[in-house]
Structure 1
Amino acid sequence: MTKLKTPKAILLLGPTASGKTRLAIKLHKMLPIDIISVDSALIYRQMNIGTGKPSQEELLLTPHHLLDIKDPAERYSASEFRQDALKIMNKIVKNGRIPCLVGGTMFYFKALIEGLSNLPSADFNIRYKIDQIAYEKGKHFLHDELCKIDPESANIIHPNDLQRIQRALEIYYISGKTFTEIKKISRKPLQYDLYQFGIMPYNRELLHKRIELRFKNMLAVGFEDESRALFERGDLHINMPSVRCVGYRQMWSYINGDIKYEDMVYEAVYATKQLAKRQITWMRKWNNLYYLDSDDIQLSANKILKTFNNKLN
């Protein structure tokens, strides 16, 4: 009986502003890949400039899956991402092509590779109550509550990561079990032969300059107008995952009159640098990650192609 070959998939991780999208587009010309976005901000419609979403011209040449799948008023969990990604990966493989997952939302990558425990489905009544508490008492109050209920989860979830704090509390309020307890239930890992690459900026100062320049470019092409359009909808607020995306959160505070323009710019750039730092920390703890230099996109693409071909032989 012929043994079925394990399907292959390429994973391309990297911090914000490291050139992941440019590398993926370059790689699309060299290998029969279809790109799946692994980014918790790119899922939202009407949020193009501030998320650094690929342009329409780029998407026509190199389509990306899992872009523009949610309205900014909606939520999207790591569990939902895994389900959606697996369906798309299966279709790509059936079409004789290779899934290439590209992004910087490391928890999504982790959920995809390791699987997730059987977490309870969202309860929108409970979420609304948690949202109200966050709005009235702040995210730090919620993190303090999580410390009392599930100190192990509170220790690994950053106090500013409101979405994950809310989800951990929601799980406890629904099931009576902590997120830590449920995670210990067996998971089903990803059944793919993985080729994992990470764009690791060796020059942190250069990455910071890229972040600053990119944000200035966003402002120049209309990021404030894009944010105002969201603000004026009336159904969004500062504690929603979409609005809490880096850049949008600071712009929202400026539009709301809470901070000055120059403070908004400084805080947005600083928050983006902190995001990049957390992403790099994730990557340094990653197993089986082949590092690439973000300064030379063509060289990185050639290394991926060589590594991929060598493993095939």
Structure 2
Amino acid sequence: MDVDLDRELKLFSNLKTKQPIFFLVGSTGIGKTEIAHRIADELGLSLLALDSMQVYRKLDIGTAKPSTSEQIRYRYGGIDLVDWKESFNAFLYIQAVRDYLNKELNHTHGVLAVGGCGLYFRALTSGLCNAPPANLYLRAELEKLDRNALLEMLIKIDPLAASSIDCSNPRRIIRAIEVKKSSGISLIQWQQLTTSPVISPSLAFWIDRPKPEVETRLRNRIRKMFDEGWEKETLMLLEEGGIEAVEKCKAIGYKLIGRFLLRKEKNRKELEEEICRQQLAYGKRQKTWFKKEPSLRYCLLKNKEEEYRFIKSCIIKINYFIQGNRQNAFPE
């Protein structure tokens, strides 16, 4: 789908109201949604999912999607935007968010965006890079190379990008190579020249937890997902789209479960451990994004008491904005 970015940004910036928009971000499995629900209950906020996988219909259990009743109660946006077999990107997400906010900000105290997608956060708060579109032939060739070979190529043709992007992610390296080869211009230069702010968050919080607690939470959540029927959900996807479609699913876990169901490649415990390893690795990549966002207020929640104080502080500060006071100092 072709997208006129300039047109979209102009439409997006012309929101009908000036109600505040807040952000609560963090890595996967640390309890963002539960905290967001508590804040929304107190202040009457609507919620926007800032999640790259919850946009897909039928990927429910494995993406920790809010329940149907929760989606209704908190007037969620950003969920179930496309079929699970369709492609989706940040441009389309911006379109969907624009439509959601134009409707929702007319009858709410504000919107709290909650999730862990650093790209979507950056797209909403800093704009999008209007670099050349994907070169599918070149991308297919690059995908045959391992990360080290890709990184060596990027350092050779675009050292600026190699020193700036997340080089632990092969997809980021491929995109940087693609842009440089297609246009002769560094991806970093494209970003500097073509990005423009879309919205300015009133407040943006980044929560984190100690590493041992994150691992425990993830293992418990994965076990709960299996108890809730993650295998059955994946089996339904297999019946609908076949193993080829499930193999292409980007949401962590579905591909592994699909292989498990069809080929019994691992036992159940090994399967859960592999999913946990992938989730932990994804969490590290999420933190890499957030560390580069100066607008985020970082808070490490070491225990229940600190979590309670954080929620109380958020409620006070957000309410301060809702009441119309935009000063830089906040009551604690």
2:313 to 263, 278, 303: 303
Q: Aligned residue for 2:221?
A: 214
1:260 to 266, 279, 289: 266
**Aligned positions of 1:46-195 closer than 5 A:** 46-121=58-133, 126-127=135-136, 130-131=139-140, 134=143, 149-153=157-161, 156-162=165-171, 164-165=172-173, 167-168=175-176, 171=179, 175=183, 177-195=185-203
Cα deviation for residue 115 of structure 1 reads 0.9
Is 1:250 aligned with 2:262? no
Identical amino acids, percent of aligned pairs: 27
Is 1:279 aligned with 2:291? no
* Separation in structure 2 between the aligned mates of residue 149 and residue 236 of structure 1, nearest angstrom: 34
**Aligned positions of 1:19-58 closer than 5 A:** 19-58=31-70
* Separation in structure 2 between the aligned mates of residue 18 and residue 169 of structure 1, nearest angstrom: 34
* Separation in structure 2 between the aligned mates of residue 7 and residue 34 of structure 1, nearest angstrom: 11
- Aligned 8 A contact 1:82 1:112 in 2: yes
Q: Aligned residue for 2:6?
A: none
Distance change in 2, residues 1:182/1:280 (3 Å): closer
Distance change in 2, residues 1:87/1:56 (3 Å): closer
Distance change in 2, residues 1:158/1:128 (3 Å): same
**Aligned positions of 1:217-232 closer than 5 A:** 217-232=224-239
TM-score by length of 2: 0.77
Cα deviation for residue 68 of structure 1 reads 1.1
Is 1:10 aligned with 2:22? yes
C-alpha RMSD of the superposition = 3.2
* Separation in structure 1 between the aligned mates of residue 99 and residue 302 of structure 2, nearest angstrom: 30
Distance change in 2, residues 1:145/1:77 (3 Å): farther
Distance change in 2, residues 1:283/1:180 (3 Å): closer
Unaligned runs of 5+ in 1: none
- Greater Cα shift, 8-17 or 80-89: 80-89
- Aligned 8 A contact 1:253 1:264 in 2: no
- Aligned 8 A contact 2:205 2:297 in 1: yes
* Separation in structure 1 between the aligned mates of residue 292 and residue 310 of structure 2, nearest angstrom: 21
- Greater Cα shift, 51-60 or 303-312: 303-312
* Separation in structure 2 between the aligned mates of residue 227 and residue 80 of structure 1, nearest angstrom: 25
* Separation in structure 2 between the aligned mates of residue 130 and residue 276 of structure 1, nearest angstrom: 25
Distance change in 2, residues 1:132/1:226 (3 Å): farther
**3-state DSSP of counterpart to 1:130:** helix
> Letter of the aligned partner of 1:248 in structure 2?
Y
Post-superposition CA distance 1:168-206 (Å, at most 9, x none): 4555576564433422314221343521112221x2211
> Letter of the aligned partner of 2:223 in structure 1?
K
Aligned length: 301
Unaligned runs of 5+ in 2: 1-15, 326-332
> Letter of the aligned partner of 2:136 in structure 1?
R
- Aligned 8 A contact 1:8 1:98 in 2: yes
TM-score by length of 1: 0.81
* Separation in structure 2 between the aligned mates of residue 137 and residue 88 of structure 1, nearest angstrom: 40
- Aligned 8 A contact 2:206 2:297 in 1: yes
Q: Aligned residue for 1:200?
A: 208
Cα deviation for residue 72 of structure 1 reads 2.2
Cα deviation for residue 34 of structure 1 reads 1.5
- Aligned 8 A contact 1:8 1:99 in 2: yes
Post-superposition CA distance 1:227-258 (Å, at most 9, x none): 233234135153x3xx2322224324434538
- Aligned 8 A contact 1:27 1:301 in 2: yes
Post-superposition CA distance 1:50-79 (Å, at most 9, x none): 111111232232231111112222222223
Post-superposition CA distance 1:108-156 (Å, at most 9, x none): 111211112323456xxx437735874x667776666655554544552
